[in-house]
Amino acid sequence: MINFYTVVSIYHYIYSYYNFPKGVPIKKSIIYLFIFFLLSLFLIIGTTVNKTYTAQETLLHESLKNKAIAIFDLIVDMRHWNAAYDGVYLKTEKLAPNPYLKPNFIRSDKNETLVWVNPAFMTRQISDIASRRDGFKLKITSDKLINKHNAPDEDEKKILEYFRSNPDAKYYWNIKENDFRFMGALRTEKECLVCHKKQGYKVGDIRGGISVIFDISEESKQLGAISRDREQTILFLLIASIGAILTLIIHQRIKYADEKKISSLNTSLEAKVTELDEFNQTLHNRVREEVEKQREKENLLIRQSRLAALGEMIGNIAHQWRQPISAVSAIMMNIKWTAIANGVDREFLDRHMDEANEQLGYMSRTIDDFSNFFKPNKEKEEFDLTAEVKRACNILEATLQNRNIRLLLDSEEGLVTYGYPNEFSQVILNLVSNAKDVLIERATPNPQIDIRLYRREESLCCEISDNAGGISREYLDKIFEPYFTTKESGGTGIGLHISQEIIRKHMHGTLNAHNSDRGATFVITIPITRSPDATSRTAQK
Angstrom distance (rounded) from CA 405 to CA 516: 19
Neighbour order of strands in the sheet with 179-187: 136-141, 206-215, 179-187, 171-176
For 376-540, which CATH superfamily applies? Answer: Histidine kinase-like ATPase, C-terminal domain (3.30.565.10)
Contact of 519 with 468, CB cutoff 8 Å: yes
Contact of 142 with 207, CB cutoff 8 Å: yes
| E-state strands within 142-201 | 171-176, 179-187
Three-state secondary structure string covering 220-283: HHHHHHHHHHHHHHHHHHHHHHHHHHHHHHHHHHHHCCHHHHHHHHHHHHHHHHHHHHHHHHHH
Nearest to 430 by CA among 520, 305, 302, 297: 305
For the chain of 541 residues, list the mean pLDDT of each consecutive stretch of 10: 52 52 53 67 73 78 84 82 79 78 78 81 80 79 75 84 85 83 81 64 75 81 76 74 72 67 78 78 75 61 56 58 63 66 65 63 55 58 91 84 92 89 87 91 92 93 94 86 70 75 88 92 92 61 52
Amino acid at 374: F
List, in sequence order, every residue forming a beta bridge with 381; answer none if it has no partner. Answer: 419
Strand 381-384 relative to strand 206-215, pairing: unpaired
Angstrom distance (rounded) from CA 59 to CA 295: 63
What is the pTM (predicted TM-score) of this model? 0.39
Three-state secondary structure string covering 22-33: CCCCHHHHHHHH
SS3 527: strand
Angstrom distance (rounded) from CA 328 to CA 335: 11
Burial letters 29-40, b for 16+ CB under 10 A, else e: eeebeebbebbb
Query: How many secondary structure helices (H) and strands (E) does the chain include?
Result: 13, 14
SS3 530: coil
Residue partners of 206: CB distance under 8 A and separation at least 6: 160, 163, 164, 167, 185, 186, 187, 188
CATH class, 81-221 region: alpha beta
List, in sequence order, every residue forming a beta bridge with 88; answer none if it has no partner. Answer: 117
Angstrom distance (rounded) from CA 411 to CA 414: 9
Q: What is the pLDDT of residues 255-305, one digit of tens each?
A: 666 667 777 777 888 888 787 777 777 877 777 777 766 764 665 456 556
